[in-house]
Amino acid sequence: MIHVLIVEDDPMVADLNKKYVEQVDGFHLAAMAANVEEALRYLDEYDVDLILLDVYMPGRNGLQLLKDLREKDERVDVILITAASEKEQIQKSLRLGAVDYLIKPFEFERLQGALIKYKENYAVFQDKENVGQDEIDRIFIAQENRQEKNRIQVPKGLTQNTLELILRIIRKKENRAFSTDEIAQDTEVSRVSIRKYLKFLKEIDFLEETLVYGVGRPVYQYQIKNTDDLDLEFYH
């Protein structure tokens, strides 16, 4: 289990981030802090693996906390979640070892993808004395290469907006299986149309399809095939 500390001075944003974290398997919210001083106290009291850290807060800011953590060689990782979009702030956070940087406002899927990627990297270093080159390459592969690899063209007859709506619903299900009828109900899109989109997602290997036999007619069940593909991007 990965233990998370949220450091955010806005109670509504902190509560939203809390709900997001609780939706992703493998993560446990250890504590929530409204400023740097509270965060330092919680770090003394709790075992924390990952901090979701705001930059702009009363008193000392998040980048100052991140700098202190690195100077003290604290064994904790940091994802910045902030409205700070200035180039200098982003570059400084990367130099200080932030593992990701999310600019407010953001969609749940963006944080979900960051947490899933972090969990995969975290697992590489558990109970291992040595790490292989293939595992290192998966961690340090350039972000632009991953983005290019994950961009897929939407075929004719399908609309990007509808596809993105369906994907938002599917991603929330994570590893749970679902049927065409479930997605049709959640999206209010016809079952016939949903079937076309699910067929496309199966063809690009995003979904796996299983025919389930029970009472009545057999039903196709779908499931995300590989959580590495959660950040796929589609374009026309």
Helix H or strand E encompassing 218 = none
Given a contact cutoff of 8 angstroms between Cβ atoms, the answer to whether 51 and 99 are in contact is no
Q: What is the dihedral of CA 40, 46, 49, 51, to 10 degrees?
A: -40
Name the domain count of the chain.
Answer: 2
Judgement on whether residues 130 and 13 belong to the same structural domain of the protein: yes
Higher pLDDT, 116 or 231: 116
Q: Identify whether 113 is part of a domain.
A: yes
34 and 122 part of one domain: yes
CA 137 to chain CA centroid, Å, is 20
Which DSSP string do the residues of 173-217 spell out, in sequence order? HTT--EEHHHHHHHHT--HHHHHHHHHHHHHTTSEEEEEE--SSS
Edge-first strand listing for the sheet containing 100-103 = 27-33, 2-7, 50-53, 77-82, 100-103
**Would residue 146 count as lying in a domain?**
no
Can you tell me the distance from the alpha carbon of 124 to that of 24, in angstroms, rounded to the nearest whole number? 19
Q: Which residues contact 103 (CB under 8 A, 6 or more apart)?
A: 82, 83, 84, 85
Whole-model pTM over 0.75: no
pLDDT in tens, 12-52: 999 999 999 999 989 999 999 999 999 999 999 999 999 99
Average pLDDT of the chain is 85
Q: Examine the fold and report which residue of 140, 159, 192 is the final residue of a domain before the chain moves on.
A: 140
